[in-house]
Structure 1
Amino acid sequence: MRLTTSLFAAVAAATLSGALALRPHPAAAQATIAIDGSSTVFPITEAVAEEFQRTNRNVRVTVGISGTGGGFKKFCRGETQIQDASRPILQAEMEECRRAGIRYVELPIAFDAVTVVVSPRNRFVECLTVAELRRIWEPAAQGRITNWNQVRPGFPDARLSLYGAGADSGTFDYFTEAVVGRAKASRGDYTASEDDNVLVQGVARDPNALGYIPFAYVAAHARDLKTVAIDGGRGCVQPSAETVLNGTYAPLSRPLFLYVNLQALERPEVRRFVEFYLSPAGRDLIREVRYVPLPEQAYEIGLRRVRERIAGTGYGGRAEVAMPIAEVLQHEPRE
């Protein structure tokens, strides 16, 4: 009896020991970095996250698409550690973060060209002036500018179908500021979405459609879309890495940003992810998804902000339009 009891105790102890050995050590538990925001920045962040996780298997990076405005709501509630943004943080968002005690590091990461697109079956639109875009998209156009021949004499008498960014999108804020002259000032009778893939599909299947989307989505669907050159006063210019860098694709070139929760930077995995994003490998991924990397100096500035925990924004809560790359580098953050 005593032997049986001793044997049972030994087996139980061995079983318990085995179970403890199989249980993951707390230090090996998977950490999560939550990112949300701009659908424009999403392709870059998704590519960086996938590559980062190859060598950081104990880190899970989730990347959502709520639009820049929707993402800032989550970021300023402390629900995410990193915010993708296709425009600088606005005054109302700064106040929201301040009330919640959320401080952040602002990092310019790339340049984009907001691109006006039509279906490849459209044979008559090659170039539009900014004035013509304003005529199409301004609030007064709602229910009034509904045919192509109202945009320009000589265009066909065909119904104009419009596709564009939703109200929570930074692309919406930027496009309306650049084209109409006031952020969020837009007609409302168009198909709107924060998901740029929805806009791609809508324009691609409608020969009379016109829309605006980030350049990377155009590059990924080159067979399905036709880009429209833009005349900002100096002749018709197509969007490209070259025209973005030399400033001739105006006023629809814009910087893209990451905002990083300052407190979250104390977590080693968050710091490693951000440093990887700003590294030469991150720049390669920016090119791979068809955006325009900033000069090397910009990433050195970004790394200094991360390492020295320099919080705030360099834009004072205002939307900025037609900002050349050199000017982006001069915006020092302030709280």
Structure 2
Amino acid sequence: MKKWKYLSMTALLGSTLLIGACGGETSGEGTNSGNGMEQTENGEAQLTGSVSGDGSSTVAPITEALVEEYKAVQPNVQVSVGVSGTGGGFEKFIAGETDFSNASREMKEEEARALEEAGIEFTKFEIAYDGITVVVNAENDWAKNLTIEQLKEIWIEDGKAKKWSDIDPSWPDEEIVYYAPGTDSGTFDYFDEVVLEGEDLVRSAQLSEDDNVIVQGVASDPYAIGFFGYAYYLENKDRLKAVKVNGVEPTREAIEKGEYTPLSRPLFVFVNNAKIKDSEAFYDFMKFLLENAGDMAEAVGYIRLPEEKYEEGLKKLDAIK
């Protein structure tokens, strides 16, 4: 996974992060082993513990960047974030291996059922908006605007190799090269739901849970096409072109207003309620995340929620505690 640069974010948030995080400190002992308070050399109480998460590569830029900022405020709390895709993250969450799970789609019924069977109560938090962005190579000067029907024609398996000229006779008589998120990805699931409508994705597509692999693939082939979260396009817009969908360009404004349909979606973090109750460190990190997710979402290329949604999230978090 690409390492993001945080210098601009630090300048953006400044002392706001310090104030927000200090509000989450507590003098009580956490009931989880290794989660609580310890005395520093100058006699001040310092929060300690560990927090683990996994899941969506789309959500990861937000949570990874927040982890970096959180280190400056709570250096004795170790927070780790894996990237195995939304589905892979839920598998670890269901197994009780993680405290939180990043997701770029809603939880499936079978996943919720598995959590219930495992005796795990959870809470869902929205943290940002995203727009799945369809991208082509920088040299592609023909596929500037695609309808949902054309996307279906391009991406649904029909038993034959497809050329760009099959979509529009005026386009190159060259085979389409496909790059897409892996099947454990929430982005794949969302695209499957709103574009493929349950039909099989083209078998020749090269799949990866790492969106940077898709970036590299599309950037290196003039006849390639791919899709992933909006932030990855912004980070690589000098190498790729974003395709309009139904005449609408993916922009912050279009995604926020719901005009970029049907590829706009919310992004989530799911938490294990029992681990919030047992761990002061986990509670403090989640409070920090919800207080600063909007600023960080904007900093890494996503779209913040209305402020009242973050306030609702903080109330939900306190209700768990």
Q: Does 2:189 align with 1:167?
A: no
Whether the 8 Å CA contact 2:293–2:304 is kept in 1: the answer is no
Instruction: State the partner residue of 1:244.
Output: 255
Q: What TM-score, normalized to structure 2?
A: 0.83
- Corresponding residue of 1:269: 281
* CA-CA distance at 1:246 after TM superposition: 1.4
Out of 296, 301, 310, the position equivalent to 1:290 is: 301
- The CA distance in 1 between the partners of 2:240 and 2:112, in whole Å, is 37
Report the Cα distance in structure 2 between the residues aligned to 1:185 and 1:302, rounded to whole angstroms.
Answer: 36
What SS is found at the alignment partner of 2:141? coil
Partners of 1:136 and 1:145 within 8 A in 2? no
**How much has 1:30 moved relative to structure 2?**
5.0
What residue number does 1:5 align with? none
CA contact (8 A) 2:162 2:175 kept: yes
Q: CA RMSD in A?
A: 1.7
In the alignment, what sits opposite 2:213? 198
Structure-2 residue corresponding to 1:60:
78
Whole-Å separation in 2 of the counterparts to 1:55 and 1:224: 36
Residue 117 of structure 1: aligned partner:
135
Distance 1:145 1:131 in 2: 18
Question: Which residue of structure 1 lines up, in the alignment, with residue 4 of structure 2?
Answer: none
Distance between the aligned counterparts of 1:258 and 1:56, measured in 2? 21
Alignment of 1:129-278 (within 5 A): 129-140=147-158, 143-182=159-198, 185-231=200-246, 236-266=247-277, 267-278=279-290
Contact 2:127 2:305 in 1 (8 A): yes
Query: Matched residues in 1 for 2:184 and 2:301: separation?
Result: 23
Q: Give, in angstroms, the shift of residue 308 of structure 1.
A: 1.0
Q: Which runs of 5+ in 2 are unaligned?
A: 1-33, 39-46
Asked if the contact 1:120–1:207 (Cα under 8 Å) also holds between the matched residues in 2, the reply is yes
Structure-1 separation of matches of 2:96 and 2:229: 27
- The correspondence of residues 65-84 of structure 1 with structure 2, limited to 5 A, is 65-84=83-102
Report which stretch shifted further, 124-133 or 300-309.
Answer: 300-309
Q: Which runs of 4+ in 1 moved over 6 A?
A: none
- Whose Rg is larger? 1
Q: How many residues align?
A: 278
CA contact (8 A) 1:229 1:239 kept: yes
Q: Report if the CA contact (8 A) 2:121-2:272 is conserved.
A: yes
Corresponding position of 1:9:
none
Counterparts of 2:254 and 2:300, CA distance in 1: 17
Q: Is the 8 A contact 1:216 1:289 kept in 2?
A: yes
**Are 1:145 and 1:151, in contact at CA under 8 Å, matched by a contact in 2?**
no
> Partners of 1:225 and 1:146 in 2: how far apart?
21
Measured against aligned partners, the alpha-carbon deviations of 1:245-264 in whole angstroms (never above 9, x if no partner) come to 11110000001000010011
Q: 2:10 corresponds to which residue?
A: none
- In structure 2, give the amino acid aligned to 1:58: N
